[in-house]
Amino acid sequence: MASRRFLGYFIFIFLVMMGFLSGPSKAYKFYVGGRDGWVLNPSENYTRWAHRNRFQVNDTLFFKYKKGSDSVLLVKKEDYTSCNTKSPIQSLTDGDSIFIFDHSGPFYFISGNTDNCNKGQKLHVVVMAVRPKPSPTTPAPQSPSPVAAPPQSPSSSPISSPPVPPPTTAESPSESPIVSNASELAPPNHSGSEGYNSFFGLVLGASIGVSVTLGSFIGMV
């Protein structure tokens, strides 16, 4: 019982550690304008602030401003340059706006107030691309080792009769009969079933002994 409980704890800790190791990288939250928030003249210029920070996918921008008097518009590059507020890609107006970077590349934000945008209340952010994970190198395939042919048993090889001597030129037309000595060359046929049976019995007995020992140990625990 105690051994099973210990095994369960070990598996749980292992799964938790694997979850931490395989989890995604931590995302960061950036407060645009710092303490001042999304205002016309922050203590640090928006362009300088954007160059000082490094943005990645899944990072968050937080815009703090007075609801109803200002807003944040996500626009195209040409609208960013001309401060065009008529066709935004996305409009944020709740006063505590959060924007999450869902892909890499440039992002352009301007104030919903055209006068403020023309006076410099706009932000250009470049999000860095995600670095692909290096693919595991596959080992070079090994050439298969040559397999030696199994030795043939003596009983399977054919036993050839001794060569027949050439007939001797004799006056008598009858030839002497040729006697084959195959019976003398054939090896004795010994069966290996007795050794195999004894080895199988030894392995079976050892297996039963180990099973009984483990069963008694688990019962004691």
Residue with the larger pLDDT of the pair 173 and 135: 135
Identify whether the C-beta of residue 97 lies closer than 8 Å to the C-beta of residue 108: no
Identify whether the C-beta of residue 125 lies closer than 8 Å to the C-beta of residue 107: yes
pLDDT tens digits along 172-217: 444 444 434 433 344 444 434 444 444 545 545 655 655 545 455 5
Going by C-alpha positions, the residue among 74, 77, 80 that lies closest to residue 101 is 74
Which domains does the chain possess? 29-127 (2.60.40.420)
State pTM to two decimals.
Answer: 0.51
DSSP β-ladder status, 105-111 and 122-128? antiparallel
pLDDT tens digits along 145-174: 555 555 555 444 444 445 555 555 444 444
